[in-house]
Structure 1
Amino acid sequence: MTTTYDLPLSELSEYRPALEEPPDLDAFWAAALSEAAAFDLDPVFRPHETLLRTVEVFDTSFTGAHGQRISAWLVLPRQRPEKLPCVVQYLGYNLGRGLPHDVLTWSAFGYAHLVVDTRGQGGKTLPGATADTMPAPPGPHVPGFMTLGILDPAQYFYRRVYVDAVRAVAAARAHPAVDADRMVVAGGSQGGGITLAAAALAPDIAAAMPDVPFLCHFRRGAEIATDGPYLELVTWLAAHRQRSAEAFATLRYFDAAVLAPRASAPALFSVALRDPVCPPSTVFAAFNRYGGPGEIRVWEWNQHEGGQGAQVAEQAAWLAKTLA
């Protein structure tokens, strides 16, 4: 079963659900980032030998949340007469940074490209290189990542992930080939939700490209998604019948639609109208609340794959214009 239109497009374009914002949201994230800042970022860029002729690859690491080292690839065009704008890419659910030849698109367009591992993920299709060291037992959870620590915002999995995302931007800025004033955050699905969080929480972002973003309007996703990780929430809530209010109180801190008004960089979204994983209304809930100038590309007949190469072409043209 797939979601064709959870709402008509005319309603989606005006969809602004009442999303409850925690009164201490800004203080919560200020504390999380301050806690991470106590650890030296210590970005390390080790040259990585490959047979690739047009790029240089660096096996990169930096210190993320709780002092844990996060792995990434930095891919640079070999020919670079000046400092380059940098696309910091966050990954889809349970994907890792993969191998360098898997991630050549943005360097081929002439950008520096940092591909950031998601801690604890990388068990599907593209391997990762970063574990998740839990600061404390997260409590009962459904297999996967959506309910890890769900009863305590300070322990919830995505607190660590969003902090890592902000630190990744700072790490990329530290490389001498990168233009620190032209930092772009981007990603699809889970990476799209992380992109919105980074755009809201990291300073001086130049552009954001959330593609079919996940992690937006959690309750709506749990109510109508028919595939994908929102169903982990459904399974947990079905078992913990009396604790749904506690769970959704935690999720408010991490909802990219709640964080979206705090972003100010120009953004190019995408949405797929037959998406059973990230239903269109969840994407529009974030897009319609986004704090900066935004555009959205609508893929009418696609499911969660969205526009794929056609969307990348849209992103490349939009980014060249936006950064000009």
Structure 2
Amino acid sequence: MSIPKTHPFDFDPTYGMQLDELLAVKPPEAPEGFDDFWRARYLKALAVDPQPVLRRSKIAHPDWHVLDLVYISTGSYRIGGWLILPRQGEVRRGLVVGHGYGGRDRPEFDLPVEETAVLFPCCRGLSLSARPPISENPSFHVLHDIDKPDSYIIGGCVDDIWLAVSTLTGLYPWLSGHIGYSGISFGGGIGAMAIAYDQRIDRGHLALPTFGDQPLRLTLPSVGSAQSVQEYHKKHPDVLGTLRLYDAASAASRIKVPMLTAVALFDPSVAPPGQFAVANAIPKFNEIFILDAGHFDYPGSVEQEAVLREKIGQFFRVP
């Protein structure tokens, strides 16, 4: 292991916890009405026709056909993104790929998948889906409508993932039951919530997932969007009611499909106890891959990422 020994933060991004302690972290108990809240939200999203519009992208790649994509999500929100299709072989699997809080400016072409239609949505308010008055700054985006549980921006972003799945099943009906999800950080957190209630997603990979154990998350010094929520909570303590409904660890305990979760021992942006709360909550079929650090460069990161990449390729391999 090569957990960073020096760093510029005025707190310890390991929070003084060893691996055995992190593996013992349990998810918080979900608030009353948690499942009803998410099931109703999912049914509302399922009723939306995404009406995808595709056009050839200016981005070109030797192995992939690249298409610019727009589809409709809940609240008539237009979501921008990309769809890439393999130049070789049939399309036998679908994959929705979420992004971190930095957004996304192009598709990823080095994913270790074949015969797969890969959809890269930009969640509402970010990158291709930016729209006033939502801020693209993660520290403000994460607070958008946080005082309104039903319309909090994070719920809309989960809707955007569900509508990405609807887009894939609409374009390629034979992919139903063969669609995966992969997301990192912000995309990992909303991915846990999306997978928990969408039976159309048959497996998922979450890396450095955020929004895990919200009550604990409020107490652990962090940088980025987590710090922003902590500062808001100090002035508005009742916001915990909203946050508990949007807890990735509570959602993860409802996941029933195979999962590959990558979590870090050191992370200044997404506190490791919150990441492990998500990973540990998944009831079965879950492989936990340990990274020395997340959201931070460290020696050995290239080698660890290469091993993880190989696992991801095996995990999403077409049967």
Q: Which amino acid aligns with 2:97?
A: Q
- 2:19 alignment partner in structure 1: 9
Q: Distance in 2 between the 1:205 and 1:213 partners?
A: 18
The equivalences for 1:166-315 within 5 A come to: 166-176=162-172, 179-238=175-234, 240=235, 243-244=236-237, 246-300=238-292, 302-305=293-296, 307-315=304-312
The equivalences for 1:35-184 within 5 A come to: 35-80=44-89, 82-96=90-104, 98-100=105-107, 103-106=108-111, 109-121=114-126, 128-132=127-131, 143-176=139-172, 179-184=175-180
Q: Distance in 1 between the 2:278 and 2:162 partners?
A: 19
Segment drifting more, 262-271 vs 41-50: 41-50
| Per-residue deviation, 1:132 | 4.5
Deviations 1:178-221 (A, max 9, x none): 62221110111101112211211212322100011111112222
Q: How many residues align?
A: 302
- Structure 2: 5+ residue runs without aligned partners? 1-8
Q: Distance in 1 between the 2:46 and 2:117 partners?
A: 25
Tell me the TM-score normalized by structure 2. 0.86
- 2:313 alignment partner in structure 1: 316
Tell me the TM-score normalized by structure 1. 0.84
Deviations 1:95-149 (A, max 9, x none): 13x124xx1123764432111101111xxxxxx2113477xx99xxx95222222
Q: RMSD of the TM alignment (CA)?
A: 2.5
Contact 1:68–1:133 (CA<8 Å) still a contact in 2?
Answer: no
- 1:33 alignment partner in structure 2: 42
Q: Which amino acid aligns with 1:44?
A: V
- Structure 1: 5+ residue runs without aligned partners? 122-127
Q: Distance in 2 between the 1:215 and 1:6 partners?
A: 20
- 2:3 alignment partner in structure 1: none
Helix, strand or coil: the match of 1:52? coil
Q: Distance in 2 between the 1:117 and 1:260 partners?
A: 22
The 1:87/1:161 distance shift into structure 2, 3 A limit, reads: same
Percent identity over the alignment is 26
Helix, strand or coil: the match of 1:72? strand
